[in-house]
Chain A
Amino acid sequence: MSIAVKRPGLMTSIQDLGRFGAREVGVPVSGALDTFAMRVANILVGNRENSPVLEMTMSGPALLFEQDSLIALCGGELTAKVNGIPVPYWRPVLVQRGSVLDIGYARSGCRAYLSVAGGFRVPSVMNSCSTFLRGGFGGYEGRALKEGDVLETGTPGSIAQSIQRHLFNGMQEHEREAASASWFVSPELLPAYHYFTVRLVNGPEADRFDRESRERFWSETYRVTPRSDRMGCRLEGTPLHLSAPLEMISEAVAPGTVQVPPNGQPIVLLADCQTTGGYPRIAHVASVDLPVVAQLKPGDTIRFRPVSLEEAQDLLAIREYELRLLAAGVERPGQGSCNSFLAIRDESGIRKRYPPMADFISFLIYWHYEITDCRRCHPHEPPQCHRPQLRYGGKLWRLPYRPG
C-alpha cells in the first residue's frame, strides 16, 4: 500500500502527537502544530489518534494513490481536489486507486492535515514518528517530503473498513474518483480558527514588564511576521519593555510559551522550539488555543485575552470530552443516537443537539465518565444554575450550558 509524491508542496512533513521523554537531553517535542485537526483527521478514518499524518503548510502536495484509500483532511483549508473535483474538509473521503489528490494554496489557515486509514508507516525514532527538521531525524528520512518519495501506509482498521464499504456502495456512477461521507464534524466543535483571539495564562515573568507594556500586551493587535516557522510564531507590534533589566538563568520553556527577546517583540514558541530559554516569559498560550496559533500565517493579526489557569484547564477538559464524543460517534455509526451527538452533523442541515440526559449518562458511563449536575454537588443552590458537569480526570468540570 503506497502513495507517491508527485509534487511535495512548500513544506510537507510526517508528524504524530510528538516525541516525549527526551526534553531532558535537548530534544524538542515536535509533532503536529495543530493537534486538534491532526487528532480529528485520525478519528475520522478510524486510526489511533497518535497515528502519523501529513502536515502541509501554505501550499500542499500532489499525491498519487496506488490503491483505494480512506482519507480525511482537517485543519486550515488548503484547496483540495481529486482529479479536479473539490474534496471537502472534516469528513471521511474515499479516494479511488489511480487518483491524484492535489492540495493547493491556503484559502484560510496555514496548515492542513491529511490522514489515511492505517496511517503513514515510517520508523519510530526515540518513540515518535514526528519529523524533527532541524535535527534531521524522525518522519520520512528526517526531512520534508520531496518529489518522487513513496509513502507506505498501514492496514486500515475495522472502523475504516466499514466506513469505506459504506462510501463505496453509495458511490454514484459519475463519482469514479472519490466519494465523501454525508456526515462531518460539527462546526461547533472546531477551535475558533477565524476569531484570531488567543487565550493566555500569565507567564512566570509577566510582572517584570512595566505597567504600560503589560496593558498594551492585552490590547495590542499583533501581526505575524514571515520569519515564523515550526519553532515559533514571531509577532510584531509596539515593543514591550521590562520595568528593570533582568538577568535570567536559562530554564525550561515549552510549546505555547510567549517569550520576549530584547527587541520587545513577542515570540509564541511552537512544537519544534528549544527545550530551554533565557528570555522573560510574559504569558503562555492555553493548550486549548495552540491549534489557533498553528493556523496563523505571515500577515495575519492576532489579539490576546487572559484566562486563569483553572479556566484554561477546564477548557482543555471540555475539548477532550468533545473529542471523545466525536470518536464514539464515528466508531458506532449504525447504533441509534450516537450520530445525533453534537459532534457530528449531516447534510440535511438539521441542527443536532446534545442528546437527552438519559442517553448522556449511559454513554458517559460506557466511557468511564460520570455526568452529574449542580444539584448533586451544590444541593443548597437554586436549581436554575443547572449546568451539566463532567467527572473526568479526578475532577468535576463544568460544561458550557447550551440551551436545549
Chain B
Amino acid sequence: MEFEIYPLGDAALTIRWAGGIDPKTFQVIQEAKRRLENRQHPMIREITSAYTTVTVFYDPLAADHAGAIHSEDADSASSYDKLCSWIREQLEGLCTCSDSTESMPVIEIPVCYGGRFGADLQEVAKRSGLSENEVVKLHSATEYVVYMVGFTPGFPYLGLLPEALEMPRRSEPRLAVPAGSVAIAGRQTGIYPLETPGGWHIIGRTPLKLFHPLRHPSSLLKAGDHVRFVPIPEERFEEICRSTAPKWGREG
C-alpha cells in the first residue's frame, strides 16, 4: 500500500497511508508499527499510531554508530533522510499478511446503559428512529477496533459504529462528562477515562477503570485491540465498582 513520509518538527516524522478510516488500512498500519518496533533503530525513541498514520519520535543526535564509524559518506545525509530510507526499507513488501486473519482476543467492557448513567440515550434513540433497547442492542452487538488512544490518557477511539447510530456531536459540549461514560459521535464510540469536558452523546457507563497510572499496563485498551460492550444491570455495576482499585487524582 502507498504511503508518504513527512517531518513533524525536527525530532519526529509521520508515515501516512492513503485511505480513510477503514479496517483494512488500519491493519496495515498496525503491521507497520509492529515491524518498526521489532526491528529497532538506535535513533528511534517512541512510535505511536493513529487512524491512517504511524508517527516515529526520534533523537536526531543519537549516535548511529553503524553508519558513522565505517563510512565517511554517511555523514552527508541528514538524520531525517537516513531514518526515512531505513523506514522505507523496513516497510518494503508490507501487506495485510495472512497471519493477521487469526482471531484477536475480544476484550469485553461491561456497560450499564441509559438511566442516570446514559443521559443522552433517549435523545439518541429519538434521533435515530429506534427504541432505546434497539440502540443498546445495536451498540453492544458490534465488535469494535481501537483505532487510537488519545484526547486524555486511556481514551479509546472505537470504530466503526453501525450506520444507524451515526450522528454529529452535541451542539453544546458538556463541561464535565463523568469518568467511565460510554459515548458516541460520528461513526465512532469512546469511553471517557477521566471526568473531562466532552461533546459526544453519552449512552451508558462502565465500572471498569480505563486508565490508572500505577497499574501495569496503565491503559486498559491500546490501539489495535478488539472490543465488545456487554450490557449489565445497575446492581452489577455497583458490584464491580466496589471491587476495583482505589481512585486517583481527579478521576470520577
Q: List 18 contacting pairs A-B, 8 Å CB cutoff, sorted by A.
A: A22-B153, A25-B154, A126-B213, A138-B213, A201-B10, A249-B20, A249-B51, A252-B48, A252-B55, A254-B11, A274-B152, A284-B8, A313-B80, A320-B61, A393-B68, A394-B62, A394-B67, A396-B75
Are A395 and B249 in contact (CB-based, < 8 A)? Answer: no
State in angstroms the CA–CA spacing of A299 and B51 once bound together.
38
Tell me the nearest residue of chain B to A286, going by C-beta.
Answer: B10
Interface membership of A150, Cβ < 8 A: no
Contact of A254 among B12, B21, B213 (CB under 8 A): B12
| Chain B residues near A (Cβ < 8 Å) | 6-12, 14, 16, 20-21, 45-53, 55, 57, 59-65, 67-68, 72, 74-75, 78-80, 148-155, 157, 194, 211, 213-214, 217-219, 222-223, 248-251
Closest approach, in angstroms, between the C-beta of B160 and any C-beta of chain A? Answer: 13
The residue on A at minimum CB distance from B66 is A394
Cα distance, A135 to B249, chains bound together (Å): 7
Set A23, A249, A317: member contacting B46, Cβ < 8 A: A23
**Contact A395/B79 with A23-B46, A136-B250 known, Cβ cut-off 8 Å:** yes
Of all chain B residues, the one with the shortest Cβ separation from A23 is: B48
A residues in contact with B219, CB < 8 Å: 22, 25-26
A312 with B154: CB separation less than 8 A: no
Q: Is the CB of B249 within 8 A of A137?
A: yes
Tell me if A79 is interfacial: C-beta within 8 Å of chain B.
no
Alpha-carbon separation in the docked complex, A252 to B7 (Å): 11
Q: Are A257 and B9 in contact (CB under 8 A)?
A: yes
Q: Is the CB of A254 within 8 A of B68?
A: no
- Closest B residue by C-beta to A254: B12
Contacts of A317 on B, CB cut-off 8 Å?
60-61
Residues of chain A in range 114-160 having any CB-CB distance to chain B below 8 Å: 125-126, 134-138, 142
Q: Out of B9, B20, B57, B79, name the residue touching A393 (CB < 8 Å).
A: B79
A281 to B214, CA, bound (A): 34
Question: Which residues from chain A contact B7 at a C-beta distance below 8 Å?
Answer: 201-202, 204, 284, 309
Partner of B79, one of A25, A252, A256, A313: A313
Which residue of the partner chain A has the closest CB to B80? Answer: A309
Q: Using an 8 Å CB-CB cutoff, how does the interface string of A375-404 with B read, 1 for contact, 0 for none?
A: 001000000000000011111100000000
The 6 closest A-B pairs by CB, nearest first: A136-B249, A394-B68, A284-B9, A25-B219, A252-B55, A276-B150
**Cβ A27 vs Cβ B153 within 8 A:** yes
Asked if A250 lies at the interface with its beta carbon under 8 angstroms from chain B, I say yes
Q: With both chains docked as a complex, state the minimum distance between the C-beta of A275 and any C-beta of chain B, in angstroms.
A: 5
Residue of A nearest to B6 (CB): A204
On chain A, the number of residues with a Cβ less than 8 Å from chain B's Cβ atoms is 49
Given A24-B48, A394-B74, A394-B79, 9 other A-B contacts at CB below 8 A? A23-B48, A137-B214, A138-B213, A142-B248, A142-B249, A202-B7, A251-B55, A286-B9, A309-B78
Is B14 a contact of A252 with CB atoms below 8 Å?
A: yes
Q: Is A21 engaged at the interface, CB distance under 8 Å to the other chain?
A: yes
- Is A316 an interface residue, CB under 8 A from the partner? yes
**By the criterion CB–CB under 8 Å, are B10 and A312 in contact?**
yes
B residues in contact with A21, CB < 8 Å = 46
Contact residues in A for B63 (Cβ distance below 8 Å):
393-394
Residues of chain B lying within 8 A (CB to CB) of residue A354 = none
A287 within 8 A of partner (CB): yes
Are A287 and B151 in touch, CB under 8 angstroms?
A: no
Annotate A343-382 by CB proximity to B: 1 below 8 A, 0 otherwise: 0000000000000000000000000000000000100000
Task: Name A20's contact: one of B45, B50, B78, B194 (CB within 8 Å).
Answer: B45
Give Cα distance in the complex from A253 to B148, angstroms: 13
The answer to whether B9 and A254 touch across the interface, beta carbons within 8 angstroms, is yes
A394 touches B75 (CB 8 A): yes
Contact of B78 among A125, A138, A285, A313 (CB under 8 A): A313
B contact residues around A26 at 8 Å (CB): 149-155, 211, 219
A173 contacts the other chain (CB 8 A): no
Q: A23-B46, A204-B8, A394-B63 are in contact. Are A135 and B51 (CB under 8 A)?
A: no
Contact of A24 among B52, B72, B80, B223 (CB under 8 A): B223
* Bound CA span A204–B49, Å: 17
* Chain A positions within 8 Å of B211 at CB level: 25-26
Nearest chain B residue, comparing its CB with the CB of A277: B150
B16 to A251, Cβ gap below 8 A?
A: yes
A126 and B219 alpha carbons, distance in the complex (Å):
11
Q: Once the chains bind, are B218 and A126 in contact (CB under 8 Å)?
A: yes
Which residues in chain A, 189-207, are within 8 Å of chain B measured between CB atoms?
A: 201-202, 204
Residues in chain A near residue B20, CB distance under 8 A? 249
CB-defined contacts of A309 to chain B, threshold 8 Å: 7, 10, 78, 80
Distance between Cα atoms of A152 and B21 in the complex (Å): 49
Q: Knowing A20-B46, A25-B153, A250-B50 are in contact, say whether A392-B9 is a contact too (CB < 8 A).
A: no
Min CB gap A284→B, angstroms: 4
Task: Give which listed residue, B9, B53, B78, B80, contacts A287 with CB less than 8 A.
Answer: B9
**A288 (CB) vs chain B CBs: closest residue:** B10
Do residues A275 and B48 form an inter-chain contact, with CB atoms below 8 A? yes
Q: Chain B contacts of A138 at CB under 8 A?
A: 213
A396 to B64, CA, bound (A): 12
CA distance A250 to B149 in the complex (A): 11
Q: Is the CB of A395 within 8 A of B75?
A: yes
A201 contact from B9, B16, B53, Cβ within 8 A: B9
Q: A274 touching B213 by the CB < 8 A rule? A: no
Contacts of A316 in B (CB 8 A): 10-11, 60-61
